Amino acid sequence: MQTSHDTGTIRLPIGSDTDLAWVRQQVRQAAAELGFGLVQQTKLVTAVSELARNTLIHGGGGQVEMTVLHQGPVLGLRLAFTDDGPGIRDIEQAMTDGYTTGSGLGMGLSGAKRLVQEFGIDSRPGGGTTITVAAWATGLPHPRAEDG
């Protein structure tokens, strides 16, 4: 049902905490240019910070691909975080508030999902992880069927 189409994609590496800061800046700038409000920008950049850090820490580094979306007059951003790390064995468990295999708070994945409009995980043990999110610049009528 996704009728949006792409207009250009940029790829940013995630290999250090300097890269995390750079990714946050790039996403913030893109979101501002697309007309995201301040709260929307803050939510998106916070989600991006969580996911990029997971790519770095749990996935051993990787990259993020940022794509501008158009859906009629509405603009959005899609971000796909990819790594070749160990993958996530139990996705449902990883998505639970407070679940962590490290020393974090376990709020990153579940919290990031609440901060964006679309969220998907593709991961299998030993096969790396891709987490894709999208957010829109205005109160887009959400696809009703989105669940989980």
Partner 1 sequence: MTGSRRAHPSRVPVLALGATLLITLQGELHDSMAEQLQEDLTHRIAHSPVTGVVIDISGVDIVDSFLGRVLAEIASHARLMAARTILAGMRPAVAITLVELGLTLPGLPTALDVERALAMFEHGPCPDPPHPRRANHADLP
Ligand X SMILES: Nc1ncnc2c1ncn2[C@@H]1O[C@H](COP(=O)(O)OP(=O)(O)OP(=O)(O)O)[C@@H](O)[C@H]1O
Residues that bind partner 1 (CB under 8 A): 17-18, 20-22, 24-25, 28, 38-39, 41-43, 45-46, 49-50, 53, 97, 104-105, 107-108, 110-112, 114-115
Out of 48, 52, 109, 133, the only residue in the binding site for ligand X (CB under 6 A) is 109
- By CB under 6 A, residue 55 contacts ligand X: yes
117 contacts 140 by C-beta, under 8 angstroms: yes
Minimum CB separation of residue 3 from ligand X in Å reads: 29
Strand partners, 70: 5, 75
Q: Interface residues with ligand X (CB under 6 A)?
A: 50, 54-55, 58-59, 83, 85-88, 94, 99-102, 104-110, 129
